Amino acid sequence: MIWNVTYNDAQRWNEVHAIAGERFPWMKSITESIRGRAIGSPKLDLEALTGLEELERLRIPLNQRTSINFQRTTHGFIAYTKVRLEVYAIPLRFVEVTSVQTKDSGSTQAILVLDFQRSHQKVTLTMKGARKVVDAAAEWFKMASRSGGQPS
């Protein structure tokens, strides 16, 4: 369910794109952004995850923040997170997402919880950031799911 994409391995990228769909060409990315339909999401801090034990084992001993952001593709999106010097991709289809919820976490902070399921495996990503950034990420997910990934 996760792929190490640190090194530009075409076979790994083919596997990622087989699940999430292809990336948009760079010019289409620019026109989508101008239309208010950004290809990339705001960056958040990955606070916790369940259902991806391999990635969680890599994260546990770290005392630094682990960031996460998302990139819209033709059939879904790809979550990118960095652990130490390695970048991991989690490709998702829109139909796999079961919920996206926001929660307050103090006066200026908020939490975004993304749940998805592939086959019988359930995964929860819990992300934290400034309330404004979390709200923008939640809006990004709404926009991306309404479009089904497809640009207009």
Summarize pLDDT for 81-137 with one digit per residue, the tens. Answer: 988 888 999 999 989 999 999 998 777 999 999 999 988 889 999 999 999 999 999
Would you say the pTM of this structure is higher than 0.85? yes
Single out the residue of 140, 123, 111, 136 nearest to residue 52, CA to CA.
Answer: 123
Q: Where along the chain do its domains lie?
A: 3-147
48-78 residue pLDDT tens: 889 988 888 777 766 667 899 999 999 999 9
Q: In the prediction, which pLDDT does 118 show? A: 86
Of 147 and 59, which is predicted with more confidence? Answer: 59
- Which class is 3-147 in CATH? mainly beta
